[in-house]
Amino acid sequence: MAGNAPRADSVIIAGAGPAGLAAALALAGRGVRSVVLDMGNGTPRAGSRACGLEASTLAFVYDLTGTRLDGAAEPWGVQRIRRRGRDVPQPVAEPEAPVRYGLSQQRLERALLDAAHASPLVTTAWRHRIESVEQDETSVTVLARGPGGPVRFRAQWLVGCDGARSVVRRAVNVRFPGRPRVDRLLCADVKVRLPRRITATALVPPDPSLADEPASPDLGEPATPWLFVDPPFHRGGTVLAQPLPDDVWRLTWQLPMAHGVAKAAEETRVIPVTGDPADPKRIAARVRSVLRTLDALSPEPDASEDPAHDLLWSGEYEVHQRLARRFRVGRVLLAGDAAHLVHPSAADAVELGLQDVRNLAWKLAFTLRGYAPIRLLETYHGERRGAARRRLALGEDALHFLAPASPAQKVGRRLTLMGARGKGTTLRRLDPRGPAANPSGPDYTGSPLLTPGPGVGEWIRDVEVFRADGAEGWLSECLDRGLVVLLIAPGIQVWHGDGWREAGLMPRLRGRLDKLAAPAELVVTPDYPGATAHTILLIRPDGYIAAHLPPDHLDILEESIDRARGAGH
């Protein structure tokens, strides 16, 4: 490999975790070749680890892996909370709240690895440790040490997905400030047969129209995650129980530790950890206590004995809150844990990393294919660092709830648990059910790629569409390739055959799109929330609305497309 001249469109990816592998596959889907360097041997790490994905992110990885993740995700309902053995009032969910899914990181990594090995455009180099990074105006050169000695890799771009201790980040002298060791967690995967929707029927008012329908509790209904606050079996702490497929529950205990604040993040003294060690006997006792509680909440509890279970995996780790100063330095880009570390109650690390990749992949591909100028990649830094910064703020709010350190924080948590919460208030932000119950993905409002208008910068609503070849499908199925131009045309569904393709604005739109410098697909829908007839929505490849053009603004479509690909003035 060292003696071969690299392709001009190649990308080097450091790290074969979920973010790195997803980046390689997303680029391959756009015809871009990449090489993935990793110190491991190609075996997924054990345990569920990060295990919560939003619906849009899950759809993204499904698209990357084909059928390899079929049946691997568990839909979650709104998280329930119990404090000291009593249920906490359940907040009203936002309208049309997206669903979250439980997916083991181990299963996700296995599916991504298998897909990467099957792709002719993805090369993996295992047991390669990066030693140096050099770049000039046109390329990046990485010196790595592999099983056969030193090897040089050269490409146009380098994406650092090599984790919290990123060698790539250090090589380009990017600082990683923040708060180290803000929390300490013990996680365990337990296989046990328990109801997936424990007392969850109380969440949803009965639908009178379904009174005569038989109950179907196992047909894909969301399962119930639980947060136990100061429970009898873990005084002073919190315990999270999240259901996964195949009768597995992910259990997470908050362990005691000394908190500290560090202004400089690269060189910090070790903060002493206090409290009981996570030894096997204590882990077993902790697991039994949680399972007994979950079983007692079921419709038919069995108090005679502990639920039969198998401990599949356990691990202890410290939580940090950090944010890299830059996500792009020349031809080097950072993603995933190399760019940010956020408390898992605000966002799972894998979720944020995959959102980074989805934002970056189309921009890299557009740049490499000549569809956009290089300055398009600077918007990756602005959009994704801003999104991570907002998640960090949510992480701080979560810490005030999970580990209140001041009297004011303790009062805030107590009021939140009593149900004193209002839209837009501090108490609402403190409630850990907020981000989990109403995930909306990042909001890119204010990005220079967007043409100001209603709903611009927000994630799409998934609606049924008609494609140019006459096929019917969903708007989400058109993403992750090129730009999408969506025309709202009421009544299109009543047309016979393909006559609608020559009706109204269609010929003019097709003519304009055929002349564009970037790939764009024209699709039609009879209705879209908040859009009037003949409105045009310009949608980025990652699913965010770039322009909302009323019927009399068709003349600025090309300008909006140029802006979306970073070529606007």
Q: Are residues 482 and 384 in the same domain?
A: no
Band (pLDDT 50/70/90 cuts) for residue 62 is: very high
Give 283 or 277, the one with higher predicted confidence: 283
Q: Are residues 17 and 137 in the same domain?
A: yes
Q: CB of 353 within 8 A of CB of 335?
A: yes
Task: Write the CATH number for 67.
Answer: 3.50.50.60
Look at residues 297, 291, 289, 304 and name the one whose alpha carbon lies nearest to residue 232. 289
Is residue 265 assigned to a domain? no
In the structure encoding, which two tokens stand for residue 426, read together? 């501090």
Q: Which domain holds residue 498?
A: 458-565
Residue position matching structure tokens 């001041």: 406
Q: Picking from 121-125, 150-154, 399-403, 421-425, which range would have the lowest pLDDT averaged per residue?
A: 421-425
Look at residues 275, 68, 304, 314 and name the one whose alpha carbon lies nearest to residue 183. 275
Q: Are residues 369 and 501 in the same domain?
A: no
In the structure encoding, which two tokens stand for residue 12, read together? 């080097």
First to last CA, the chain: 42
In the structure encoding, which two tokens stand for residue 133, read together? 């990074």
Residue position matching structure tokens 């611009």: 456
Residue 270 in this model has a pLDDT that exceeds 90: no
What does the pLDDT read at residue 353? 95
Is residue 220 assigned to a domain? no
HSE-CB for 284 with a 13 A CA cutoff? 5
Band (pLDDT 50/70/90 cuts) for residue 20 is: very high
Torsion of CA 167, 169, 174, 180, to 10 degrees: -80
Is residue 438 assigned to a domain? no
Q: Are residues 163 and 17 in the same domain?
A: yes
In the structure encoding, which two tokens stand for residue 229, read together? 């606050």
Look at residues 228, 252, 222, 243 and name the one whose alpha carbon lies nearest to residue 417. 228
Q: Are residues 44 and 165 in the same domain?
A: yes
Of all residues in the chain, what percent carry a pLDDT higher than 90?
48
pTM of the model: 0.87
pLDDT tens readout for residues 479-523: 988 999 999 988 776 565 565 666 667 777 777 777 777 888 999
Integer Cα distance of 349 and 20 in angstroms: 13
Helix and strand element counts for the chain (H, E): 12, 26
Task: Write the CATH number for 467.
Answer: 3.40.30.120
Q: Which residue type sits at 460?
A: I
- Structural element, H or E, at residue 131: strand 129-135
The residue from 389, 410, 429 where one domain ends is 389
Residue 445 in this model has a pLDDT that exceeds 50: yes
Is residue 412 assigned to a domain? no
Q: Are residues 365 and 495 in the same domain?
A: no
HSE-CB for 396 with a 13 A CA cutoff? 10
What does the pLDDT read at residue 493? 63
In this structure, what are the phi and psi dihedrals at residue 375, rounded to the nearest 5 degrees?
A: -65, -15
Of all residues in the chain, what percent carry a pLDDT higher than 70?
82
What does the pLDDT read at residue 425? 45
Residue position matching structure tokens 């564009």: 516
Is residue 312 assigned to a domain? no
Q: Are residues 22 and 171 in the same domain?
A: yes
The CA–CA distances, whole Å, from 314 to 188, 282, 295, 353 equal: 4, 12, 21, 23
In the structure encoding, which two tokens stand for residue 378, read together? 């600077």
Residue 438 in this model has a pLDDT that exceeds 70: no
- Structural element, H or E, at residue 122: strand 122-125
The residue from 389, 416, 436 where one domain ends is 389
What does the pLDDT read at residue 205? 35
The residue from 346, 373, 389 where one domain ends is 389
Q: Can you tell me the mean pLDDT for 364-382?
A: 95
Beta-bridged to residue 52, according to DSSP, are 102
Q: CB of 100 within 8 A of CB of 440?
A: no
The gap from C-alpha 27 to its chain's centroid, in whole angstroms, comes to 18
Which residues lie closer than 8 Å to 247 by C-beta, 6 or more apart? 191, 192, 193, 194
Q: Are residues 474 and 352 in the same domain?
A: no
Integer Cα distance of 67 and 98 in angstroms: 22
Is residue 169 assigned to a domain? yes
Q: Are residues 47 and 142 in the same domain?
A: yes
DSSP string, 386-408: HHHHHHHHHHHHHHHHHS--SHH
Integer Cα distance of 143 and 141 in angstroms: 7
Integer Cα distance of 566 and 569 in angstroms: 9
Q: Can you tell me the mean pLDDT for 263-279?
A: 41
Q: Are residues 479 and 347 in the same domain?
A: no
Q: Are residues 371 and 464 in the same domain?
A: no
In the structure encoding, which two tokens stand for residue 376, read together? 């398009």
Is residue 205 assigned to a domain? no
Which residues lie closer than 8 Å to 61 by C-beta, 6 or more apart? 22, 53, 69, 108, 111, 112, 354
Is residue 240 assigned to a domain? no
Q: Picking from 414-423, 425-434, 531-540, 557-566, which range would have the lowest pLDDT averaged per residue?
A: 425-434
Q: Are residues 17 and 159 in the same domain?
A: yes
Reduced to 3 states, what is the DSSP secondary structure of residue 453? coil
- Structural element, H or E, at residue 464: strand 464-467
Integer Cα distance of 91 and 437 in angstroms: 9
Q: How many domains does the chain have?
A: 2
pLDDT tens readout for residues 204-243: 333 333 333 333 333 357 888 899 988 888 888 889 999 9
